[in-house]
Amino acid sequence: MKTNKPKATDDPSSVSKTGELTATKMGRKRDHTRDAKILEAAIDILAEVGYDGMTMDMIATRAKAGKATVYRRWSSKVEVVRDALSWMNHSQLQLDELPDTGTLRGDLLSVLKPSSVQDHERKFRIFAKLGSFLQHAESSDFGLGQIFDPWMSINRQLMQRAQSRGEISVSANIEMACQVITSSACYRGLIEHKTFDTSFYSDLIDQLLLPALMRDQASK
């Protein structure tokens, strides 16, 4: 009985050990433009109904994506919200390139994008409606603090650069200064329900951060 041999042009990886051809499945490349649409949809729903009221179905419907598309990217609602909050934070900051105004004060302020009153109010509604996400975030591997990691990273680089050019003390506690910025932003938004705007940030820099960073530990 004559058997059909694989053609020379066939992909060897699609041939099984018994000599039979198997179907080669070509996975579609991930469309990263869908990620932003899904995350934006999650933010919109958070502002409307809060974390406890939202579902993966609602996110998929708002983003005009299949539920399977959402689950291929995020395995749970907690993960979607985590990345959505990071995405929201990133969109309000100039993180694409390191600013260089000549001073640490100018650099730190340049990172903060000017936002409309509507943007701030929307952000407050989201923070106020995180609900049980805060418990999930605290008990998981990532933690809520990681939402601000990109901002922490760029502030750290700016302070290290200022330190290398002699603008701040060589013994300055840069890590603590970075934590003060993000902690102040969290407290002002979550607890006080006020905007972390340029005016407030300028006062924080002038009255707290720069005096602390410029203080020489040896002078204590």
For tokens 């991930």, the residue is 30
Which of the pair, 178 or 89, is modelled with greater confidence? 178
* pLDDT at site 209: 97
pLDDT digits (tens, 9 = 90+) for 161-170: 999 999 999 9
**Cβ neighbours of 27 (radius 10 Å):** 5
Structure token digits, residue 39: 């995350």
* pLDDT at site 191: 83
- Region 37-51: mean pLDDT is 93
Residues 6+ apart with CB under 8 A from 190: 127, 128
* pLDDT at site 9: 40
Which of the pair, 92 or 15, is modelled with greater confidence? 92
The secondary structure of 121-168, three-state, reads HHHHHHHHCCCCHHHHHHHCCCCHHHHHHHHHHHHHHHHHHHHHCCCC
% of the chain at pLDDT higher than 90: 45
**Cβ neighbours of 63 (radius 10 Å):** 21
* pLDDT at site 28: 46
* 86 confidence band (pLDDT: 50, 70, 90): confident
Contact 112, 198 (CB under 8 A): yes
pLDDT digits (tens, 9 = 90+) for 105-158: 999 999 887 765 567 667 777 877 888 887 775 545 555 666 778 888 999 999
* pLDDT at site 148: 78
